[in-house]
Amino acid sequence: MMGNILVLAEHRQGSLREITFEMLAIAPQLSSDMGGEAVVLLIGSGVDEMAVKIASYGVKVLVIDDPLFEDFNGEKYQKVISAVIDDLKPSVVMTGHTAQGVDFMPPLAVEKRLPLVMEAIALEYTDGALKATRQLYSGKVNAIVAFKPADTYLVTIREGIAEAPEITTAGPVEKINTPLKEDLDYRKFVEYIEAEVGDVDITQSDILVAIGRGLKEDKNLPLIEELAKAVKADIAGSRAATDAGWISQDRQVGTSGKTVKPKLYIAMGISGAFQHVAGMKGAKTVVAINKDPEAPIFNVADYAIVEDMFKVVPKLTEKLKELKS
Amino acid sequence: MMRGMIMISETNSFTEKFDLLGCIQCGRCTGGCPVTVRADLNVRRFVYDAYNEEKLDELARLAEIWDCTTCNTCAVRCPKGLKPLEVLLALRSMVVESGKVEPTVRDALQSVLLEGNPWEKPRAIRCDWMDGLDVKMAEPGVPVENLFFVCCTIAYDPRLQIIARNMVRILNKLDLDYGFIGTDETCCGSEVRTLGEEGLFEMLIEDNTELLNSFEAKRIVAFSPHCFSVFNTYYPDLKSEVIHYTQLFDELVGENKIPWRGELQKKVVYHDPCYLGKLSGVYDEPRSVLQKIPGVELLEFDRCRERSLCCEGSGGKMWVESHSKKERLAETRIKDARALGADIVAVSCPFCLLTLEDALKGLGFEEEMRVAEIMELLGEVVEE
């Protein structure tokens, strides 16, 4: 139908991925601008609960529930979405720019000869035309691109560009038959292999408190743990902190460790060697505590506290607890 | 049948490439390998096993192939003139080829491809270290006596930029024809090679040869032993002679051209960088420069020159962490220096500076000792 947006719900190992809800922050408004409505397509096996969850955001959910879709298979998704496009003729098909989305959207575009914009960070419908914003040159330039006129436009949306909307009156859930009747014999799901992570994956943390050589000895760790608890942060550190055994190796930040992009990075007793800074320069806000005013970490810090960390941290923790209570 | 034939030819290529059949399994390689004290690396075993082509995939999956620092001790000690470490690098290549490398390695290699340096820094800021300095730039087609090649790590790491800055200050004092390349300068590929990215390394050789030959340089002066060694070993078509900066300064101090302005009343021990020493045979020049600094008392490590202990900074180790929790070799080195009573551990390599300084701080000896690059020390005693 004209103006309708088909949003593909994404899930893995029984749980919906955040990108699904992020797209629900974009699709309903855009589809109403286009004179249609947003409809979510959920493909899976035994996904009733997920369907209800998605519908609670006030959208109509189409469910294809079949054992054939027990696990993700880009090839199967392509066939299903291809048939659904023929059937429903949506104006836009929207998926996440995720390992799943990038698997089947390009071949789908080729198969159906439809225009595709990958990794859009915004979409707008003005003067009767759909336009997408994409980033070029490692994010230095935003380009607004138009689509070649077509009945259906394909677009993959970058993760994390929107926040899930509020839950509202539940929309309807409708089951439809699978257009794919048989399993594929040439591309099969084998197994999930989880990346080796320790107890915590610091690359996914929103807030990190990072320790360096300035911690001096492990008996000072509880001080840091308390601060981390107060701000709901994970603990990371420099190579020196790993060497000293204060943190495990999978919490090491730097060129020989992890690259992290938290919203807040609190560096304590870290001098800020180039090799460490390289691993945390993506942090949105950096707070550095170091008693050496010449410490290079201050060159990348948004907030600099030149003081002994052992004086600052307890006060900081206390204040944070106060603010929360 | 076809498959069998291909397999035989593959076996031959690996075996022939590294002359595996020449190995007599004497074990001098592993016996001298400094990494064995902290990791499960047995390079002799790899030379033996790599002959079995069917085992290569399995060998490439072993974590210890990434523990090699490419210090070249095994090659120096091999009585048959083989290079056992090259077997490990070839196995790394297989891993890189399959795309299953650590993200840190992937990012470093991608950065070399896109920005010409492994530090994920934009090419545009490669010369930011020159800010406020009067630097003579070389121009293609214009003859220049000394064309300086600044290593990526020195160009970008704020801790190391002083090496290049001091160099320029001193050069401007001397009557010396020199020039720098500028932002076109691109990674020499030393770490790219040791991380196993053969294709990218070949591309760098081609591009850099063309770039460097476009300058009419009598000689190229490399800041880092890594660039120096790799240019001399893997760039057959370079028109200019390549020297390390300590060789240039050895000449200059020999000709009494250095205007000393002060003294350095310190006990200094020199740490031989593997790529300058064991790989290139340059042992005397850095020592001679240090000895000429007024006031310096030069000490020697027991493990020096051909037997020098590796700092573990090379062989791609800036991007790959060993899983060993045992003492880092750099810490052993600093402890040795302290036992000698040294005030300063002098180095002539950016990686050695980083690893040894880190070790010194880790051991808490900052108050009593320091690690310094020779150019840093020269900056303190030469008139500007």
pLDDT digits (tens, 9 = 90+) for B231-244: 999 999 999 999 99
Answer yes or no: is A187 within a domain.
no
Parallel/antiparallel/unpaired status of strands A38-44 and B216-222: unpaired
Query: What is the edge-to-edge ordering of all strands in the sheet holding A122-126?
Result: A122-126, A129-136, A141-146
Calculate mean pLDDT across residues A141-164: 93
Instruction: Tell whether B106 lies on the interface with A, counting CB pairs under 8 A.
Output: no
Residue of A249, A255, A271 lying closest to B319 (CB–CB): A255
Residues of chain B with CATH 1.10.1060.10: 2-98
Residues A300 and A224 in one domain: yes
Residue A221 has pLDDT above 90, yes or no: yes
| Residue B104 to residue A274, Cβ atoms within 8 A | no
Q: What is the pLDDT of residue A108?
A: 97
Residues A228 and A318 in one domain: yes
DSSP run (H or E) holding A86: helix A74-88
Take residue A288 and report the two structure tokens written for it: 């550095």
Which chain B positions have a beta carbon within 8 Å of A249's beta carbon? 321, 323
Residue B6 has pLDDT above 80, yes or no: no
Instruction: Tell whether B112 lies on the interface with A, counting CB pairs under 8 A.
Output: no
Q: Are A10 and A95 in contact (CB under 8 A)?
A: yes
Mean of pLDDT over chain A: 93
Q: How many domains does chain A contain in total?
A: 2
| Residue B318 to residue A256, Cβ atoms within 8 A | yes
Answer yes or no: is A191 within a domain.
no
Instruction: Tell whether A261 lies on the interface with B, counting CB pairs under 8 A.
Output: no
Residues A132 and A222 in one domain: no
Q: What is the pLDDT of residue A198?
A: 61
Q: Choose between B192 and A204: higher pLDDT.
A: B192
| Residue B321 to residue A257, Cβ atoms within 8 A | yes
Residue of A213, A255, A296 lying closest to B361 (CB–CB): A213
User: Does domain B261-381 match CATH 3.90.550.10?
Assistant: no
Distance CA B71, CA B280 (A): 11
Residues A36 and A88 in one domain: yes
DSSP run (H or E) holding A87: helix A74-88
CATH dotted code for B2-98: 1.10.1060.10
Which chain B positions have a beta carbon within 8 Å of A240's beta carbon? 358, 361-362
State the nearest Cα–Cα gap between A142 and chain B, in angstroms: 19
Mean of pLDDT over chain B: 93
Residues A33 and A110 in one domain: yes
Is residue A282 very low, low, confident or very high in pLDDT (cuts 50, 70, 90)? Answer: confident
| Residue A255 to residue B354, Cβ atoms within 8 A | no
Residues A121 and A254 in one domain: no
Residue B251 has pLDDT above 70, yes or no: yes
Calculate mean pLDDT across residues B255-284: 95
Task: Report the CATH number at residue A58.
Answer: 3.40.50.620
Of A175, A194, A227, the residue at which a domain comes to its end is: A175
State the nearest Cα–Cα gap between A237 and chain B, in angstroms: 14
Parallel/antiparallel/unpaired status of strands A234-237 and A15-16: unpaired
| Residue A255 to residue B108, Cβ atoms within 8 A | yes
Which chain A positions have a beta carbon within 8 Å of B358's beta carbon? 239-240, 273
pLDDT tens-digit profile of B42-66? 999 999 999 888 899 999 999 999 9
Answer yes or no: is A74 within a domain.
yes
Q: Are B276 and B349 in contact (CB under 8 A)?
A: yes
Which chain A positions have a beta carbon within 8 Å of B321's beta carbon? 239, 242, 249, 252, 256-257
Residue B41 has pLDDT above 60, yes or no: yes
Which chain A positions have a beta carbon within 8 Å of B104's beta carbon? 255-257, 259
Take residue A185 and report the two structure tokens written for it: 């014999």
Q: Are A160 and A23 in contact (CB under 8 A)?
A: no
| Residue A273 to residue B159, Cβ atoms within 8 A | yes
State the nearest Cα–Cα gap between B191 and chain A, in angstroms: 14
Instruction: Tell whether A239 lies on the interface with B, counting CB pairs under 8 A.
Output: yes
Residue B250 has pLDDT above 80, yes or no: yes
Distance CA A95, CA A74 (A): 12
Residue of B104, B156, B361 lying closest to A256 (CB–CB): B104
Residue of B318, B321, B362 lying closest to A213 (CB–CB): B362
Q: In terms of CA atoms, which chain B residue is nearest residue A297?
A: B158
pTM of the model: 0.75
Residue B2 has pLDDT above 60, yes or no: no
Give which of B152, B321, B120 is closest to A281, Cα–Cα. B120
Calculate mean pLDDT across residues B162-168: 97
State the nearest Cα–Cα gap between B125 and chain A, in angstroms: 15
Residue of B159, B160, B319 lying closest to A256 (CB–CB): B319
Give which of A276, A222, A267, A211 is closest to A244, Cα–Cα. A211
Residues A234 and A292 in one domain: yes
Answer yes or no: is A180 within a domain.
no
Residues A102 and A224 in one domain: no
At residue A264, φ and ψ (nearest 5 deg) are -135, 130
Instruction: Tell whether B358 lies on the interface with A, counting CB pairs under 8 A.
Output: yes
When scoring A213, A239, A243 by the number of chain B Cβ atoms within 10 A, the one with the most, hence best to mutate, is: A243
Residues A66 and A141 in one domain: yes
Scanning B137-196 for CB atoms below 8 A from A yields 156-160
Residues A148 and A253 in one domain: no
Q: What is the pLDDT of residue A139?
A: 77
Answer yes or no: is A182 within a domain.
no
Answer yes or no: is A185 within a domain.
no
Query: Under 8 Å CB-to-CB from B287, ≥6 apart: which residues?
Result: B270, B298
Residues A145 and A240 in one domain: no
- Chain center to CA of A313: 31
Q: Are B208 and B188 in contact (CB under 8 A)?
A: yes
Q: What is the pLDDT of residue A197?
A: 57
Instruction: Tell whether A121 lies on the interface with B, counting CB pairs under 8 A.
Output: no
Parallel/antiparallel/unpaired status of strands B241-244 and B216-222: parallel
Give the number of A-B residue pairs with CB atoms closer than 8 Å: 49
Calculate mean pLDDT across residues A211-228: 94
pLDDT tens-digit profile of B87-111? 999 999 999 999 889 899 999 999 9
Residue of A240, A275, A299 lying closest to B318 (CB–CB): A275
Instruction: Tell whether B327 lies on the interface with A, counting CB pairs under 8 A.
Output: no
**In chain B, which ranges are E strands?**
143-149, 178-180, 216-222, 241-244, 267-270, 297-299, 344-347, 370-373
Is residue B324 very low, low, confident or very high in pLDDT (cuts 50, 70, 90)? Answer: confident
Residue A168 has pLDDT above 50, yes or no: yes
Q: What is the pLDDT of residue A137?
A: 85
Largest CA distance in chain B: 76
Residue A215 is given by DSSP the state G
Q: What is the pLDDT of residue B270?
A: 98
Which chain B positions have a beta carbon within 8 Å of A261's beta carbon? none
Domain of A127 in residue numbering reads as 5-175
Answer yes or no: is A312 within a domain.
yes
Answer yes or no: is A186 within a domain.
no
Q: Choose between B27 and B13: higher pLDDT.
A: B27
Calculate mean pLDDT across residues B248-267: 94
List, in sequence order, every residue forming a beta bridge with A131; answer none if it has no partner: A124, A146
What residue spans of B195-346 are helical by DSSP H? 198-214, 225-234, 245-254, 284-292, 329-340
Calculate mean pLDDT across residues A219-233: 94
State the nearest Cα–Cα gap between A86 and chain B, in angstroms: 38
Q: What is the pLDDT of residue B8?
A: 43
Residues A169 and A210 in one domain: no
Angle at B282 between CA B251 and CA B349, to 5 degrees: 95
Instruction: Tell whether A137 lies on the interface with B, counting CB pairs under 8 A.
Output: no
pLDDT tens-digit profile of B109-154? 999 999 999 999 999 999 999 999 999 999 999 999 999 999 999 9
Residue of B104, B160, B361 lying closest to A255 (CB–CB): B104
Domain B104-252: which topology?
A: Rossmann fold (3.40.50)
Which chain A positions have a beta carbon within 8 Å of B328's beta carbon? 243
Instruction: Tell whether A56 lies on the interface with B, counting CB pairs under 8 A.
Output: no
Q: What is the pLDDT of residue A195?
A: 66
ipTM of the complex: 0.81
Parallel/antiparallel/unpaired status of strands A234-237 and B370-373: unpaired
pLDDT tens-digit profile of B169-191? 999 999 899 999 999 999 999 99
Is residue A196 very low, low, confident or very high in pLDDT (cuts 50, 70, 90)? Answer: low
